[in-house]
Amino acid sequence: MDVIFGNTDLWGRALGNTLTIFLGGAVLALVIGLIVGAMRVSPIPIARGVGTVYVNLIRNTPLTLVFFFFIFGYPQLGLPKLSTTILAILAIGIYTATYVAEVLRAGINTVPVGQAEAARAIGLPFGQVMTLVVLPQAFRSVVPPMMSVFIALLKNTTVAAGFSVLDLGAIRSYLSERGENALVVLLWVAVIFVALVLLLSWLQRYLENKWRIAR
C-alpha cells in the first residue's frame, strides 16, 4: 500500500487523466458513431458511401498511427493549440467511433423493417424515423456489444502513455524514478483496471435490466 499512499499525487493525476480520456473519448465516439451509423443505413447513396469510407479507413488504421497523426501531425496544421490530453481524446474518440457505428448499424438492422416503413407512411422524415422509432429500439439490443467497445476503449487509453500523457499506462516509469518496484506498480494498475471494468459490467447489467422491464 505504500506504493499508493506514498505517491498519491502521481496516482491521482494518472487516474484522472485516464478517466478524462476515457469519458471524453466515449462521448466523442458516441456522437460521431451515431452520425456515421445513421449514414451507413441512410437511403442516400452519398451518405452511405461517406460512412463506409470513414469506417473502413479509420478502423483499419492502427490506433498508434491515429495517435501519431494527432500528437505530431495536428500541431503542423496551423490549427489552435491543444493539450496532449485533448489530442488523445480526439484520437481515441474518432477511432472508437467506427466500432460504435458498426454496433449501432447491427442494432438498427435488428429492428423490423415494418417499423421504419410505418413511420415513413405517416410522413416522418428520415431523421425522425431514426431518432423516434429505430434508434430507441436498437439501443436495447446493442447494450452488450456497445459496452464491450467501451471496455476496449478504456484499455486503449494506455496507448496515450507513449505520447507523453501521464495516465495509468505511464505511471510505472514515473514511479520507477522514485525507486518503486515496477512489478508492484503494474499489479496495482491491473487492479484499478479490473475495478473499472467491473464497474462498466455492472452498468451493462443495470441498463439491460432497466430496458428489459421497459419492454
d(CA 81, CA 62): 24
Name the residue ranges covered by the structural domains of the chain.
2-214
| pLDDT band, residue 122 (cuts 50/70/90) | confident
Per-residue model confidence (pLDDT) at position 58: 93
CA distance 97 to 52: 13
Average pLDDT over residues 130-135: 75
Amino acid symbol at 110? T
Q: What is the pLDDT of residues 1-49, one digit of tens each?
A: 777 777 788 888 899 999 999 999 999 999 999 899 888 887 788 988 9
Neighbours of 85 (CB within 10 A): 18
- Dist. CA 20–CA 75, nearest whole Å: 21
State the sign of the Cα–Cα–Cα–Cα dihedral 35, 160, 190, 59: positive
Judge whether 73 and 49 are in contact, CB under 8 Å. no
Residue identified by cell 486503449 is 156
DSSP track, the chain: -HHHHTTHHHHHHHHHHHHHHHHHHHHHHHHHHHHHHHHHT-SSHHHHHHHHHHHHHHHTS-HHHHHHIIIIIGGGGTPPP--HHHHHHHHHHHHHHHHHHHHHHHHHHHS-HHHHHHHHHTT--HHHIIIIIIHHHHHHHHHHHHHHHHHHHHHHGGGGGGGT--STTTHHHHHHTTT--HHHHHHHHHHHHHHHHHHHHHHHHHHHHHHHHH-
- Over range 157-183, report the average pLDDT: 84
Say what the pLDDT of residue 111 is.
76
CB-based contact 169:92 (threshold 8 Å): no
DSSP string, 88-134: HHHHHHHHHHHHHHHHHHHHHHHS-HHHHHHHHHTT--HHHIIIIII
Give pLDDT tens digits for 64-107: 999 999 988 888 888 888 889 999 999 999 999 999 999 988 88
- Architecture of domain 2-214 in CATH? Orthogonal Bundle (1.10)
The answer on pLDDT for 213 being more than 70 is no
